[in-house]
Structure 1
Amino acid sequence: MHNELLKIGSITIYSYGLMIAIGILAAYLVAEYRAKRKGLDSEPVFSIMICAVVCGFAGAKLLYYITILDEIIKDPHVLVTDLADGFVVYGGIIAGILCTALFCRIKKLSFLSYMDLILPSVALAQGFGRIGCFLAGCCYGVETDSAFSVTFHDSAYAPNGVALFPSQLVSSGLDFIHFAVLCVVAKKNKTPGRIGALYLIFYSIGRFCIEFFRGDLLRGSVGTLSTSQFISIFVAIAGAIMYGVLSLHKAENTDTDHTHDDAGK
């Protein structure tokens, strides 16, 4: 496709990297804007985003290495052959959340409130990132006879000259919808943490489904499921439990407040 967008001397601007950069910038600007609208201190947002991005990339790389552990044992040189390729998104999500939790604990900030603030922006960044995947040709879909397809002709990742399901564009569309839905729900949400829980649930369901249409099989598998599908099950369950516990806690607090009001009468 258009992996190399521009060359200036020895410097090459790649479409994937550019879309990642646009996604991160958009995520930060939206998070800062929403922080001000919600009455949260916007000053820590930049630091949280930087920490989450750095830890996220490290976590995504680490999980990728875990999925190819057999190859690494056979040839440790794989670890340094191409540090720019090979990431598993779930590793980035998990590492980013843990990093945010640690940052909030150190700075004595409300982790649940800032998680609700940041995760919709993560969905937005993922939408741009998947466009980068499409332009680069990675994360490609399965072969298809459908008219709803894309054919790569000069990709270093996807098979060329073959009609493929446009899994990257579908994923991107789902990510942008995910972002919009979370922002709408967040406007009415009064319980910190539930937006973060919904992110985990929605993303896991979408990722589990889209994996059936992915054609790149180098990301490992657990039985008949891909690594990401296997992880999706547990992340979705964790999100559902988190949402249920927070909602139950909210209901108990509401009942307690009503009891106190009745007693005051």
Structure 2
Amino acid sequence: MYPRLLQLGHIAIPTYGAFTALALIAGLAAAVHFARRLQLDPNKVWSLCLIGTLTTLIGARLLLVLVYFPAFRQHPLWVLGLTNVHDAWVIALSIAAGIGAAILYALAEGLPPLTVFDCLAPAVALAMGIHRIGAFLAGLGYGMPTTLPWSVVYTSRIAALWYRTPLGIGLHPVQVYDAAASLSILALLLWWLPRRSQPGEMAGMWLFLYGFASFFLSFYRAGTDALSFTQLLAVLAVIAGGALWARRAARNVSPLF
């Protein structure tokens, strides 16, 4: 595909990095838009998103430095080239740190956390859809080998060098599956927004549906073992989403006496 978007002299602009930046910008803009729809302060939501994002990015970089500390001691500037390392547990811990920082900021500013999560759910779905399209074009997060008619065959040596993408064989376009799942969930969230009756519904819907999709998509993603760490996180997301919707069901049950 196209792992390199542009080449400006000796400077290469990677497609994955460009789409990640686009996903971030689109997600931030969407979060501000939905903040207004849910009667939240858009400036505070903007700040919350920046705090969560920066904490996630910095946390991921620091964790990678700790993991590869012997190499970092010999080559301190090597940390700048860690963008192609994608350890699932590092990503999970850095995202958890970002969520924790966002929650603390929300509490400090008096923002209702469940309403904030409802605001962020469609924004995250949009950002993840764009992000996975970028991963597909770059060859990152590729799928298992397949002979299906819609399989994708990568031929770029840059993709093989940067992301270890196998060349010349048919692969499941699992990134496209993932993007389609996120954008479908986004459409459902937009449909549900005017029907929302209590805080936490949209966040619960996103957690349940994306966790469900992520669990099964893991079977088509290369390098995934039985009950992988990613699948465990997906199961936890489904449980959390179900718990949020259980609150709604309990509220709507009329007392017998």
Q: TM-score band (shorter)? A: 0.7 to 0.9
Contact 1:139–1:216 (Cα < 8 Å) also in 2: no
Moved over 6 A (4+): 61-66
- What TM-score does the superposition give when structure 2 sets the normalisation length? 0.83
Give yes or no for the alignment of 1:213 onto 2:223. no
- State the distance in 1 between where 2:93 and 2:133 align: 20
Q: Higher mean Cα deviation, 77-86 or 103-112?
A: 77-86
- State the distance in 2 between where 1:65 and 1:247 align: 45
- State the distance in 1 between where 2:242 and 2:64 align: 26
Contact 1:61–1:91 (Cα < 8 Å) also in 2: no
Aligned to 1:111: 113
Larger radius of gyration, structure 1 or 2?
Answer: 1
What does the per-residue CA deviation read over 1:78-113, in whole Å, with 9 as the maximum and x for residues that have no partner?
895642123335445533432221110111111111
- State the distance in 1 between where 2:230 and 2:62 align: 14
Contact 1:35–1:117 (Cα < 8 Å) also in 2: yes
- How far has the Cα of 1:7 moved from its partner? 2.2
Identical columns (%): 29
- State the distance in 1 between where 2:98 and 2:206 align: 13
Map 1:44-83; keep pairs closer than 5 Å.
44-58=44-58, 76-77=70-71, 82-83=81-82
- How far has the Cα of 1:237 moved from its partner? 1.1
Q: Of 233, 236, 252, which residue of structure 2 is paired with 1:231?
A: 233
- State the distance in 2 between where 1:116 and 1:142 align: 34
Aligned to 1:192: 199
The change in CA–CA distance for 1:10 and 1:44 in structure 2 (over 3 A counts) is farther
Q: Higher mean Cα deviation, 192-201 or 85-94?
A: 85-94
Equivalent residue of 1:40, what SS? coil
Q: Of 173, 193, 208, which residue of structure 2 is paired with 1:201?
A: 208
Aligned to 2:18: 18
Q: Higher mean Cα deviation, 206-215 or 151-160?
A: 151-160
* Counterpart amino acid of residue 117 in structure 1: C
- State the distance in 1 between where 2:32 and 2:139 align: 32
- State the distance in 2 between where 1:78 and 1:228 align: 27
Equivalent residue of 2:12, what SS? strand
Q: What is the total number of aligned residue pairs between the two structures? A: 243
- State the distance in 2 between where 1:189 and 1:76 align: 51
- How far has the Cα of 1:65 moved from its partner? 9.0
Aligned to 1:263: none
* Counterpart amino acid of residue 111 in structure 2: L
* Counterpart amino acid of residue 49 in structure 1: C
- What TM-score does the superposition give when structure 1 sets the normalisation length? 0.81
Unaligned runs of 5+ in 1: 260-265
Contact 1:123–1:175 (Cα < 8 Å) also in 2: yes
